[in-house]
Amino acid sequence: MDPPLTTVNLPGFDIGKNVASLLINIIEKNENKNKKIILEAHMVIRRSCGCNLI
């Protein structure tokens, strides 16, 4: 694409691993608590944001 799009890179593997763990707890222990999981995301800045990249 032109200009290249600015995107957010999410940790897909870690998201899946955490979801699987939560589902196992729900199924095996009938444990359905709200749980906050914080994972890092990284912004990949490209020309679509209007900035001048060096």
User: Do the Cβ atoms of 50 and 4 come closer than 8 Å?
Assistant: no
Using CA atoms in the order 6, 12, 18, 20, what is the torsion angle rounded to 10 degrees? 140
pTM of the shown model:
0.70
Residue 10 scores a pLDDT above 90: yes
Task: Encode pLDDT of 14-37 as tens digits.
Answer: 999 999 999 999 999 987 778 899
Residue 53 scores a pLDDT above 70: no
Task: Encode pLDDT of 35-51 as tens digits.
Answer: 899 999 999 999 998 88
pLDDT at 8: 97
Mean pLDDT of all residues belonging to the chain: 90
Query: Could you state, in order of their start, the residue ranges of all structural domains in the chain?
Result: 7-49
